[in-house]
Structure 1
């Protein structure tokens, strides 16, 4: 706006260019000498003259006065693109420009500090910032000061709008009052938005921390698993070498025995061949004297071929086939023992306890369930068992384990029937034994996985969350990490699938707890 006003001061309103030989009329408007002369010439004979800018009429041709606007014109070329408007000065300080501090909307005057002190304090004289545009504070229809606010149309109006304008009969209130209400409402919304922003920022921080924790835990677990598999591969390599060495040792031992026996048999075969040739030569002779006289010479060749050495070689031959075969049983035992040692190291490396041998506590069983003799199976019964009333006994079809967990990592596996309803999980020993609040998950002292009407869910403190996908198996693993405060449920059919993990700060020992209705639940050994 300041730049536009500046251009209007140095530009002729007729040719719209910078003034050339500028002159002014008595009304105060400036033009180029040639432009205004030509404009006045065209008005000759019309009975008067008018200013092209404001329309002020003159009965006689107005005289023009030469003015000096060179400095302003030069400024138009040298001024920066963003022109800074001069300070607003007091209307009443005519001897020297004094900066204004307020403007009176009624008087349409700018006031300095001194004139503000003596200005009327009447409510009609509305004071505002000196840079406030007066046009924006006046009614566009009646040109009066905007003093009221129409709540119906949500606009600022003047007195005339209320008296005989289009807002007559509407609910109105003074601007200051409406301003105060609007400001209070804006502050209220600002507080709400600030509170929401803080909550969002807190959630972002929590999520960032959660992401960092997840990354740290995943990184740690990745390193542990990598080290574990490296150790497994090293141990498998050692086990493979040990077993293969045993096989190679057996092979080498047998080959040595076989090679020695073959060598002896080859020598025996050569000796026999030599004797056979000598005998064949005797048989080919026709002279009886020669054959008979050569008898002493061939006496050794004509001895019995079956001797002590043949018997020894025969024993060695049978031994190779019968006694020195590979002991596959020994190899199998070696493999099993080695693999068992590796698995023990794996479990130790990931800190997983052996599957627990959980037994049911008959003293806590409700009267409409039966417990198997091995204390492993809980079955629903239509017949009241009339067990002795004790503080530990559940009113409904529930039972807890005889052992508890107050530290460490443990897991146990449970098999359920295809029909009927059931709940499995853990609970504190202080859980209620009577009333609906004693059911697993209907309190803040138990956590459970439930099946009701063929729908699966998890429950704690009466808050139920549905399992988001179909569960189609009857075998489940319950994994407890007491120090970490985590209780997880897994589906065991096919690939093991995670169902849900509860996170809590456990404050009491935990017992395995079971509920059944209509069929049975069994703890797997």
Structure 2
């Protein structure tokens, strides 16, 4: 046994001598430089304790020649049932007397110093941790920004201190993640073990010990598996949220657009209101001026009558005063002959001719009822004016939705003649030989090429010099063969002129239209969403008829029928006219 121990001591001594020789190979005048050169030849793995996997602290050598931290090997033997080398498993009958290997301790010290210098040099190139960033837990002094956090060590590392986890086999198995704070929150508070599992039963993170104690028989999966599942759910939720966000953004745009349209409508309404009330104001002012002129004319007539009477009275007074003066003068005369002769000459018994004013009077001008009649006339005028102005406003409003309409020859009855531009249609004398396609009418009707399935549209058709015509809109799927009865129940909303002067709205039951005069041009307005079809006398700016409460579920197309020739009296064409949108 003594010889064995001696040989082992020699082995340790030779190992020390070999290291010394290695250092001597690169020796210089500076011992610190010598040790630095030696440390450069050695890697960190050569200074790691195989028990704590860290750089030696107070390194000691066992009789078998392996090195450990003094504390590590001591604690290992304290808990072990026998004394043996953790590396080669050699058993010692008695616990060896361990002393610190001063040579290895010096080498470790030099290695630590070199590593610190290297770390210090590297740290100057790395980024210092800023507020809100995770700092390195190993750095002393200035804390550098952590690149990764270890879920096993529960520490965060900068680039320098992370190197061991990337190079050491034992540390490579540790789970690294992007740096996070409060790594202690990732430990089970009950068992002080990493939370590396997820209990789906209780929807909570657990450690390995939890699965055999509190969560036994529960559905437990690795965190990564649950993470992947939750990530898929979150991505789906994120997609749904983005869709919801997009819908709401579109709704915001829609609302903003509605507001813009509302502002435009408000501006248009104000302009139209100003125009209407300006006209009404002008009418009122005109009637007021007429009233004032009437009253003033009456007053002038009365005044003239009075002035004429006063002038005549003053003339008579002048004559009478002249006679009075003569009589008075004569009465003062003492000459008997002269007085008698003068009286005879004056003919005093017959005064100058005068008018009997007892029955003459100048009555005051009568204004009673003048204002009432004027107001009554104004009311009638305003009523008619308002009807006209409102009708004009409505016409302008629907004319803003004017669309370009052209007739489709594929739908026209073979006897109809269409103009080259598709704007006119009339009945010809000869039925043309055309393909009887499904779109073509078997009655003298024709459709436009344009169809509408939403919104509002308006077009005008000249019906001048015609004694028979049909005009309106129809759904695209209307039956075009055989007997055709234009009615809403058949998908058609039409008005017509028959028998030269009989106007009808072809409702569910035909409605006779009483018109003051026959329209020369008819406007057709459709509001798809409101279910409204209205017909207007364009020149009179008057509503002819409206179909309301309609239910449109199909495309709508303009529908025209020029009617039969009526002995040549109805030979004029129906003409789709451009809409004159007066300002």
TM-score of the two chains, using structure 1 as the length reference: 0.43
Give the strand-richer structure, 1 or 2: 1
Larger radius of gyration: 2
Q: TM-score, normalised by structure 2?
A: 0.39
Higher helix share: 2
